[in-house]
Structure 1
């Protein structure tokens, strides 16, 4: 068991520690909720970063992401065409990298 707090100084330190932990948790929640709160800023950032070229760029632009989501939802209904499209989406980054 823990020992009871002996002085008001210990109690004040404990309260400060709890306040700091709560503030840290609040900051983490705010940081991780930003993409959910401002989805258009995230999309805008993806589109603007598409203009800059870098070696570690994955090549997944907004159109590619939308196509992947669409095929995930409706790919099985398309039969062979959906299967070929899924294979094409998987191979597209490799082909693009080979072209450059």
Structure 2
């Protein structure tokens, strides 16, 4: 028919399952606490990764992204300065590409 619900091996299996879950949670906590416990190392790693990715691709600088957001939100209210900033933001990739080309030719 049906076997009994509790066997002698079942409590041991449950204990082992609980131990494995506790270890998994401990590892997750360690992994997620690394940026908090070593913020300077995390920032340094982010800067190195950004530098490497910018060498491979045409990644935009954080300043350009922030400027784009500000101009999208407040561009009309800034008047003439907003227009000049939009022109500068449009020309930035061209100037940056020209600088990279000069560096490659050297």
TM-score normalised by structure 1 residue count: 0.52
Secondary structure of 1:75's partner? Answer: helix
Distance between the aligned counterparts of 2:35 and 2:5, measured in 1?
44
Larger Rg: 2
Unmatched 5+ residue regions in structure 2?
56-60, 76-81
Counterpart of 1:40 in structure 2 is 40
TM-score normalised by structure 2 residue count: 0.50
Distance between the aligned counterparts of 1:83 and 1:18, measured in 2?
61
Counterpart of 1:59 in structure 2 is 54
Distance between the aligned counterparts of 2:30 and 2:91, measured in 1?
38
Unmatched 5+ residue regions in structure 1?
none
Query: For this pair of structures, how many residues does the alignment match?
Result: 83
Secondary structure of 2:54's partner? Answer: coil
Q: Which fold has the larger relative contact order, with Cα–Cα distance below 8 Å and residues 6 or more apart in sequence? A: 1
